[in-house]
Chains A and B, each alone.
Chain A
């Protein structure tokens, strides 16, 4: 019996010394952000720009009026034309450069092209750029 009691005491001492008490959870107050009750809508009608792919590059359409074909091997030229047309559309529609812009992009367009168009818009002062999500929004309202 004596050796057994010794072993039990040894084990007890071992577990007491090696025990690692866990820090209780939830002791730091954390507040999750609440869903916003109001939605912000732009009063100014956004300028619609659609981008679709083509065999040799991509096509940009500004306000369903002018289509600019941008060749992949001559991107700079095409994007320069786009920037010029964009400027004239903004002027003709009495817009300001920082007015909202809405981009509709087909699935086949390369990300690279989209980024380039986005960069030009950004460079021209557009900071309220959204992507066309009309379908998603309309789901909210029955």
Chain B
């Protein structure tokens, strides 16, 4: 409506402008021809542009997609406005010609037939606009639709329009408006057109096809008879009539025309596709539709979906792939293409299946080869695996299909990727053999393959064992032999150094951590090298935990999980001695904040339910320690603790968290009871005077809680500490100091 409101005054202005232009000179043949060309062009371009939507409307009896309907309405309105402008201009010219009183009038417009031509062209433009207005009306909604259809019906009574055509348009409008709903009554109204049986008139075929479309009992016999008539008429090459005929056949189980008229297959495929897609939300109607849809029709729908490259058919094709009769190459390919963004893992599988059934769609898609489809799957699979190693089996399957279909003649990169993925998640031994072959070939990926073999060995070697030492030395030799000529070699060297540093850190010792620090300082480029993670691990190995946490915290907000494993190791190292860092860090709160960030980051490297539960404990314990005496925070933490520990209340770590919480909440009696309980549990069976660090921690907190009880006397506390320290041997100095502070 806005468009019309804006264009109406513009049209008037345009007409005035045109009027002024013509004022100086008389209109000639060019002016008349130009406007008639413009009119025809506007109409034809609308018809060509909207063939899918119009056929869809006639096939379904309505617009199935509201977005498409609105787009169609806009295009139709635009065309109607344009034709309106042309008509106004034609009428302005006609008025100028008719008002001209010069003696040469007959010479200019009479003998030349220009005036008659202009009158006929103006009528033709009005008829075209009337037809376009019909499309504007059917794509409108509510009262507007009724009003617009009524206006079209009124226009069809204009006797200057072709008689049969306006009759057909009038009946179509009445049908659309719901004025007549009886098929027989409609057919009777169209009988004057049908009775002439003039196969040289397009309107005849249009009328027959309209009757077939609205008929509740269309049969293939009628359709094929009309197809035969059309074939022998002068409209044998009329695309739109053929399309309408095929659309009629779609209402029946027949597929003769579908196969005989392949040029219509793209649009008919879209009709099938839209109908399937529109019905898939309703399980009953979808089931009925599925039963009446043949594999060939599903393939046509697949073809249409492929040309659309949209994700909106992902679910539909996913469902079709589950049904045995639709498991065709093209359906799998359409499923893969529509799922590649929304569900890439499934898409990888669909690509592989499509690739294996390429022979089924060679006729429909002759330019697509099996290995090209398999390559798409392999590439997508690899991308998935690259981002998340859990997709290893998916990628392996896709790459192996590509490997097989390409006859083992893939490029060097794909060969390397196949070997790597085989080694990691399928047939490790076969992967190893292929990697060895590649490493011996001296090709582009020889060094990368050698590095993979080192990774493989590292994975299967016990840390600190003689094999680990051998591996370390061989890896060092390998690193020294890598000649850095470009980015690829540098990346491999960095990865190898990264692995080497990790082996050094696993071996432990001050010397190794110093070597790691030296490597970190001297590495020219850091691509692929886990600088922060290794630096933190080296610092932790040399006992500088606070610094290590601080370094690791700098990458804690990074995406990815490059240092996840090292962060997890650091977290467990920190948590074992968390109490000892209070005096060692400048700001204990900052240290705890860093610990929280590192712990949060380390979660990326864990997957099992037990590990997840461990991290919940760490999260809660750190938060309790950090909360200080803030009652509100402690109350919230208590709720969190209750929620997390439900069903595992006697777990020793949860008990320790609870003990720490009660201590902060000044519930000393309960805290004492919990820590004594933990100490009892931590005690090894048998009589011993040597206890581990965790026992001392529990014993210290038990005595601390007890010392805070109102009834406890300081002399008793001192005596209990004296007895304890006198009874035990090899007391950890930290806890001895803490206990002495309680005296």
Interface residues of A (CB under 8 A from B): 38-39, 41, 43-45, 47-50, 61, 63-65, 92-95, 99, 102, 104, 132, 134-135, 137-138, 140-142
From A49, A99, A102, B723 is in contact (CB under 8 Å) with A99
| A49: chain B residues within 8 A (beta carbon) | 687
From B648, B676, B681, B687, A104 is in contact (CB under 8 Å) with B687
Assuming the contacts A61-B687, A134-B680, asked whether A141 and B724 have C-beta atoms less than 8 A apart, the reply is: no
| B651: chain A residues within 8 A (beta carbon) | 141-142
Mask, B712-743, CB within 8 Å of A = 1, is 00001001101110111100000000000000
Number of chain B interface residues as a range? 20 to 34
| A138: chain B residues within 8 A (beta carbon) | 680-683, 685
B520 interface residue, CB < 8 Å from A?
no
Among A45, A95, A134, which residue has the most Cβ atoms of chain B within 10 A? A45
Mask, B678-721, CB within 8 Å of A = 1, is 10111111111100000000000011001000000000100110
Assuming the contacts A63-B727, A92-B726, A140-B650, asked whether A44 and B686 have C-beta atoms less than 8 A apart, the reply is: no
From B678, B686, B703, A141 is in contact (CB under 8 Å) with B678
The dominant DSSP class at the A interface is loop
User: Would you mind naming 13 contact pairs between A and B with Cβ atoms under 8 Å apart?
Assistant: A41-B672, A47-B727, A48-B727, A61-B687, A64-B688, A93-B726, A93-B727, A134-B684, A137-B680, A138-B681, A138-B683, A140-B650, A140-B677
CB-based contact B687/A142 at 8 Å: no
Chain B minimum-CB-distance residue to A61: B687
User: Nearest-CB distance from B90 to chain A (Å)?
Assistant: 93
CB-based contact B727/A45 at 8 Å: yes
B652 interface residue, CB < 8 Å from A?
yes
Chain B minimum-CB-distance residue to A133: B685
In Å, the complex CA distance between A99 and B677 comes to 19
| A99: chain B residues within 8 A (beta carbon) | 723
CB-based contact A50/B676 at 8 Å: no
B655 interface residue, CB < 8 Å from A?
yes
In Å, the complex CA distance between A140 and B724 comes to 24
| B706: chain A residues within 8 A (beta carbon) | 43
Mask, B141-159, CB within 8 Å of A = 1, is 0000000000000000000
Chain A minimum-CB-distance residue to B727: A45
Chain B minimum-CB-distance residue to A95: B723
In Å, the complex CA distance between A139 and B657 comes to 19
B389 interface residue, CB < 8 Å from A?
no
In Å, the complex CA distance between A39 and B669 comes to 11
| A38: chain B residues within 8 A (beta carbon) | 673
From A43, A93, A135, B685 is in contact (CB under 8 Å) with A135
In Å, the complex CA distance between A43 and B681 comes to 15
Chain B minimum-CB-distance residue to A102: B687
CB-based contact B726/A44 at 8 Å: no
In Å, the complex CA distance between A22 and B185 comes to 95
CB-based contact B723/A132 at 8 Å: no
CB-based contact A48/B687 at 8 Å: yes
In Å, the complex CA distance between A33 and B270 comes to 80
CB-based contact B681/A140 at 8 Å: yes
In Å, the complex CA distance between A137 and B680 comes to 7
| B686: chain A residues within 8 A (beta carbon) | 50, 104, 132, 134
User: Nearest-CB distance from A101 to chain B (Å)?
Assistant: 11
User: Nearest-CB distance from A43 to chain B (Å)?
Assistant: 5
Chain A minimum-CB-distance residue to B729: A64
| B727: chain A residues within 8 A (beta carbon) | 45, 47-48, 63, 93
| A132: chain B residues within 8 A (beta carbon) | 685-687
CB-based contact B689/A142 at 8 Å: no
Chain A minimum-CB-distance residue to B679: A41
| B648: chain A residues within 8 A (beta carbon) | 142
Assuming the contacts A64-B689, A132-B687, asked whether A44 and B723 have C-beta atoms less than 8 A apart, the reply is: yes
CB-based contact A50/B687 at 8 Å: yes
Chain A minimum-CB-distance residue to B670: A38
User: Nearest-CB distance from A100 to chain B (Å)?
Assistant: 10
CB-based contact B673/A94 at 8 Å: no
User: Nearest-CB distance from B605 to chain A (Å)?
Assistant: 25
In Å, the complex CA distance between A81 and B138 comes to 115
Among A41, A48, A65, A137, which residue has the most Cβ atoms of chain B within 10 A? A41
CB-based contact A141/B650 at 8 Å: yes
Chain B minimum-CB-distance residue to A51: B687
From B677, B689, B703, B719, A63 is in contact (CB under 8 Å) with B689
